[in-house]
Amino acid sequence: MKKILKNSFVLFFVLLLGATASAQVKKWTIQECVEYALKNNISIKQSELDVKATAIDKKLAVGNFLPSLNVGASHSWNIGLNQNITTGLYENQTTQYTSASLNSNITIYNGLQNQNRLRRAKMAQLGAQYQLTKMQDDISLYVANAYLDILFNRENLKVQQAQAINDDKQLKRSQELVDAGVVPRGDLLDMKATVAADKQKVVAAENSLLISRLSLAQLLKLDDFQNFDIADVDMEAKPSPVMAETPEAIVEKANQVRVEIKIAQSNLDLAAKDIKIAKGAFQPSLSGFYSFSTRASYTDRIVGLDINGNPIVQGPLPVFEQFSDNKGHNFGLELRIPIFNGFSARGNVDKSKINYEKTKNAFDQAKLDLETNVYKAITDAKGALNTYEASLATVEARQEAFNYAKEKYAVGMMNAFDFNQSQTLFTTAQSDVIRAKYDYIFKMKVVELYFGIPIIQKQ
């Protein structure tokens, strides 16, 4: 019975360890990385706060159309020389007063400034949303680049490990050839040096892979970045349908979908609205007002004269009765016509016009920059494709040359130095293929982004 319980405990412990290990090893897909970054990146959070701030500005602009309402109350003590209402003499005494008021004001017309401020607030909110979208696109691109960098380093490590394994086999083969007297001992020493160099390359490739993983983990702001890893995926360097479009068509599409132009257009609209707001200061303003006030005193009062002509003094009336008796209303309209204000209105209009011209220049520059960036992205993608295709042809040729060198070395017709050179060229060609492949994939993603295709398709 004890043995059964012991075996059951061991089995449970092994299963628990296996479940824990499985839980720790999470392989992130590129979609998970991008979505996580979009939720947790600090720059994106800042942009989201900017959007919330513009929503508050819009709410404040709406509030300008509503009347203001304020309630006030005060209670005061007057200590010192005051007139005694009974004797008519000034005496040192304390008097108290309570007052309450209610005031309201509403703008009826102010040169349409409130209307223009509301429209401006709506434009600013839309512009902030464009800025958030651009930040999301930028972060998605950064994450995709970092993700592809990990894939490149992972495949490059496999190439270096395969070369190290192959060279280790060749070292054993060289030892046999030296023992048989087929090749000189110097070839064996060259091969040992090559194996040692291979170990260094493997270590360097491992470090590059680790650094690229840490870079992406830090970009995602992960706490447990030591255990971070990505999923094993085989990304193909397939031609994109976007490359079948003409550069002019891609530029036209980019002008329609890219937020860079929308941001510039939004800034231009804001500048134009600022001019209208500034011009509104030249027009008369009309506002309505209403106020209600009441008061109460805590001093004695004279209510009449007795038969001898002396004043009859009583205490103060109840507070709320005094409030009712002393209440008053004040309401009316106030018209303000600007005549001279130290050139402030004219100066604000002139500054707004200058800012509009600057914003218009920035808008034109944004269109030129976008066109330049699109053409550059297309050129880079085409160049990356040509490089990738050339590297495929190179690695195929290097493969044949290496196979031939391996046959010659096996029968002693090639020395170790020449053989190692052939293998190094083949390994370098393999690394170049991997590098060119992921470079082409990334640059193609950039072109697709300008065409309105997101880095990842939202599920």
Bridge partners of 435, per DSSP, are none
Q: pLDDT band for 393, please (50, 70, 90 cuts).
A: very high
Interval 172-195: pLDDT, tens: 877 776 776 666 777 778 778 888
**26-66+112-285+342-450 has which CATH code?**
1.20.1600.10
For residue 100, what are its two tokens?
A: 């309450």
Going by C-alpha positions, the residue among 219, 223, 352, 333 that lies closest to residue 282 is 352
pLDDT of residue 130 exceeding 80? yes
For residues 88-115, give the mean pLDDT: 87
- What does the DSSP assignment read for 263-275? HHHHHHHHHHHHH
In whole angstroms, give the CA distance from residue 358 to residue 403.
65
Residue 134 DSSP code: H
pLDDT of residue 10 exceeding 60? no
Among 225-234, 275-284, 422-431, whose mean pLDDT is lowest?
Answer: 225-234
Residue 307 DSSP code: T
| C-alpha separations of 343 from 338, 351, 355 in Å | 11, 12, 18
Bridge partners of 79, per DSSP, are 94
**Domain assignments of the chain as residue spans, ordered by start:** 26-66+112-285+342-450, 72-105+301-334
Percent of the chain topping pLDDT 90: 56
In this structure, the strands spanning 229-230 and 27-28 are parallel
User: Could you give the angle at which helices 416-450 and 344-410 cross, rounded to 10 degrees?
Assistant: 150
In whole angstroms, give the CA distance from residue 150 to residue 228.
11
Rounded to the nearest integer, the mean pLDDT of the chain is: 86
In this predicted structure, what is the pLDDT of residue 421? 86
401 contacts 425 by C-beta, under 8 angstroms: yes
For residue 93, what are its two tokens?
A: 């005494």
Q: pLDDT band for 311, please (50, 70, 90 cuts).
A: confident
- What does the DSSP assignment read for 404-452? HHHHHHHTTSS-HHHHHHHHHHHHHHHHHHHHHHHHHHHHHHHHHHHTT
Bridge partners of 107, per DSSP, are 287
pLDDT of residue 211 exceeding 50? yes
Q: pLDDT band for 205, please (50, 70, 90 cuts).
A: very high
User: How many Cβ atoms from other residues are within 10 Å of residue 314's Cβ?
Assistant: 10
Going by C-alpha positions, the residue among 120, 133, 125, 123 that lies closest to residue 51 is 125
